[in-house]
Amino acid sequence: MAPPQAPANGGAAGHGGIVNVNGGGVDDGGMAPSEVESNGGGGGHNGVGNSNSVDGSAAAPSVAVNGNGKKRGERRTRKTKKKPAVSPKDKYWTPIDDEEAAKAVEDGGEDGRRPLLFRTYRVKGILLHPYRLLTLLRLIAIILFFIWRIRHPHADGMWLWWISMVGDFWFGVTWLLNQVAKLNPIKRVPDLALLKQQFDDLPDGNSNLPRLDVFINTVDPINEPMIYTMNSILSILAVDYPVDRTATYLSDDGGSIIHYEGLLETANFAAMWVPFCRKHTIEPRAPESYFAVKSRPYMGNAPDEFADDHRRMSREYDEFKVRLDALFTKIPERSDAYNAEAKDGAKATWMADGTQWPGTWFDPAENHKKGQHAGILKVMLNHPGDEPQFGAPASAANTLDFSAVDVRLPMLVYISREKNSGYDHQKKAGAMNVQLRVSALLTNAPFIINFDGDHYVNNSLAFRAAMCFMLDRRDGDNTAFVQFPQRFDDVDPTDRYCNHNRVFFDATLLGLNGIQGPSYVGTGCMFRRIAVYGIDPPRWRSDDFKIVDNTDKFGKSMPFINSIPSAANQEWSMTSPPADEESIKEELDNVMKCAYEAGTEFGKEIGWVYNIATEDVVTGFRVHRTGWRSMYCRIEPDAFRGTAPINLTERLYQILRWSGGSLEMFFSHCPLLAGRRLNFMQRIAYTNMTAYPISSVFLVFYLLFPVIWIFRGEFYIQKPFPTYVLYLVIVIVMTELIGMVEIKWAGLTLLDWIRNEQFYIIGATAVYPLATLHIVLKLVFRGKGVSFKLTAKQATSTVNEKYAEMYIVQWAPLLIPTIVVIAVNVGAIGAAIGKAIVGGWSLLQMADASLGLVFNAWILLLIYPFALGIMGRWSKRPYLLFIFFLIAFVIVAGVVVAIHVARTGSVRFHFRHSGGASFPTSWGF
């Protein structure tokens, strides 16, 4: 997914001028409202509100917006207002709810019913009808192809003919499963202006937006650099959402004092950073990303102060990073000093207050090591009041003037659950379920949004955008979650390893949006809390329905159980109790214990699902199976952004976990056997998403088949060969035509499509067979499935080495199969050249054989990113790869000629006038 071309927008409308920082051309702020809309560039049309301005208008407050969305001072109105241009992403979409939207406005005036908080779009007929027609024609072509093959079971090896028949049938079925889920793509665009009007513009100046709990998960400050995690927290604390209605929970599953003290430093830095963001309405609000941008239009309300404030915050952030880095040496030095004074000789890790850290020590000891330590809960920032608190004016000690800015900060909590070697802690899913219970006792927000430690809020209005779907009068109450696409920073411009995965996020999920909703794919997803509890949606509830029908499945904590009915009320606005009260402290300790879930439904019907590598997809499937629906929300600028795997090997390990977990889900939570509440087409989509790795079993046969005819003169997989080729050409051409239409309505580029095809083949050779083998072993020998491996993320680097880690080769066994496929297809082309030299072929034979070689060249083109990856730093010059291939072709051809000379004693170069082709069999796919 290529980074957005347009700069991020600000949180509120303001000055449109550009301010230079230090005279060096460094600009800041956001976009003018005419430049960015909530639906990807064209949301301002057809009644859709502008995502750049909170209220969708061109007016701007003269004083910074506070944490509740309240404004102080007079408004100023722009003299001119540009009509927003339609983004290419929206060019082929048309609204389908105009009549419903107009009626909602009328109803709002009569009986007070809420207007529609999002607009619905579908692909225009000029693309949708050809898209469906091409799909039908390709299906017909595939059926005719199979009929022809069954009527002509002729080949040089019937065993291979049968394998190809079964494989082609499977490919046809999986294509159909994938395609039918995308025949009715739907886009839904949040209307932030109406949301603000309905929930923020109240007479008392307060907001009625629901409470929201934010979960962040991390475990290792090395593989997941702490600077990313702390940037994520800073961006969440500064988000444009009522400050008294959000609470952030950081789950540190490693129990590391580095994360704890890093969070303390972050809370202190946030006292300056968050008011700075509000004062100048900057985007994005993660400082690492913000300061990396060189130029942006200013959108705040104090342009005269911005340059000085920017310089001051830049220095403060640099000092903040130094303090974070220093923790890795400061804490061991402090601990050594305390240990030197200790009489028991223990090598403990000490906190700044002179007490021993209850979590994991640098030198592990009993009850203080990974997998074995007490539970820890620390409230870093207490819950703020509901009245604004304005900061101090500028002074000699503090040059930042926050006198017109609400300086309150949202609640911030550190959690590290209890660990014991006698329990299976269920990795991330277990940590999420602990957060679920802890947050229920402290804040109990009816909505939850979760992040990985390397993702940050890129658009401060993202939480509001998701609420438009949750609070809409149509199907909001039956919406369990809103899934945002995953976008990434620091991916190379060509997206060599398909990290952006745009075909899935911008095409497949839009297709699912027209059924029961997108699948849950991890980070950046807002949940309705009671849906995570396994409670039925309103449309499936009986008249005598009870929110809690069986207390045993929720555990033994009565305060937690009693909190569940309150979580069903989205207007719930309790003030969180102090975490240090003895009664609540005891309960918090109880719900964090390893033994709490024994005998409960946690990990099965409640919370995040256990015993599977892809807990996110299975959890979403369970929610859909209960009858809930979901929504897909794609806004511009991107709602959230994260960090991608650093090199080829890490990327393949990531795909291994996904594909292995998908197969585990297919066999343990088979979508085909789900209950009647799961939409039929949704069932088809989940089947496709979980069974796709099986295709590699047949694909590997095709990719390695040329090894047979390297050593033989003639071997046909299907006769008559010309007809076989004709059918294949028709099917392949129609596939590409369907892809070209999909590119148009999904707003993709040709490079996005090519990268998707390339990495499918790479995954099918390097990863999917291994995932399939894991599952077979698990089913046959009752072993474990694919193990969870934390994906290492790229650390910050200098400009001169921006993509340096991409060129590092980490050799691993899963690289071998794809290397073998490359060698076989290179050898096939070289052998064909050599045999053409000595075989006495006619021109017709040469042309016939070249058809087979197209397949080999096509495979090498698809595996091209993998070949670059194993070249290391040489891949900086891609032309070297083509030179290597040419040299390999010449060497293999030379070997074939040499073998022929050794057998015959001579070699003749001549052409014959007729005869069948010798090497057509690489067209087995």
E strand spans, 107-202: 118-123, 186-190
Please indicate if the annotation marks 452 as binding a ligand: yes
CA distances from 426 to 6, 419, 667, 788 (A): 41, 11, 19, 10
Rounded CA-CA distance 777/787 in Å is 13
What values do phi and psi take at 373, rounded to 5? -165, 165
By DSSP bridging, strand 93-95 and strand 118-123 are antiparallel
For residue 641, the cross-strand partners are: 456
Q: Alpha helix (H) ranges present in 112-157?
A: 125-151
- Catalytic: which of 28, 97, 253, 495? 253
DSSP state of 768: H
Q: Closest by alpha carbon to 529, among 553, 495, 581, 565?
A: 565
Q: Closest by alpha carbon to 69, among 191, 195, 189?
A: 195
Length of the chain: 925
Rounded CA-CA distance 240/461 in Å is 6
Give the H/E segment covering residue 665: helix 648-668
Please indicate if the annotation marks 253 as binding a ligand: yes
Give the HSE-up count for residue 888: Cα atoms under 13 Å, Cβ half-sphere: 15
- What the block records as the tokens of 925 is 């796919």
- Catalytic: which of 244, 454, 616, 638? 616
Rounded CA-CA distance 27/892 in Å is 57
Q: Say whether 115 sits in a helix, a strand or coil.
A: coil
Please indicate if the annotation marks 427 as binding a ligand: yes
Rounded CA-CA distance 633/464 in Å is 11
Rg of the chain in Å (alpha carbons): 30
Is 200 among the catalytic positions? no
Is 616 among the catalytic positions? yes
For residue 642, the cross-strand partners are: 488
- DSSP string of 316-327? HHHHHHHHHHHH
- What the block records as the tokens of 843 is 């021109």
Rounded CA-CA distance 834/388 in Å is 81
Surface-to-core class of residue 112, CB atoms within 10 Å of its CB (0-12 exposed, 13-18 middle, 19+ buried): exposed
Q: Closest by alpha carbon to 747, among 136, 34, 42, 8?
A: 42
Give the H/E segment covering residue 865: helix 864-869
Surface-to-core class of residue 785, CB atoms within 10 Å of its CB (0-12 exposed, 13-18 middle, 19+ buried): buried
The CA angle 524-530-536, to the nearest 5 degrees, is: 115
DSSP state of 29: S
Q: Say whether 688 sits in a helix, a strand or coil.
A: helix
CA distances from 642 to 117, 368, 474, 645, 698 (A): 28, 31, 32, 10, 35
Please indicate if the annotation marks 224 as binding a ligand: yes
Q: Are 163 and 698 in contact (CB under 8 A)?
A: yes
Active-site positions?
253, 616
Which residues are annotated as part of the binding site for UDP-alpha-D-glucose?
Answer: 224, 253, 427
Which residues are annotated as part of the binding site for Mn(2+)?
Answer: 428, 452
Which residues are annotated as part of the binding site?
Answer: 224, 253, 427-428, 452
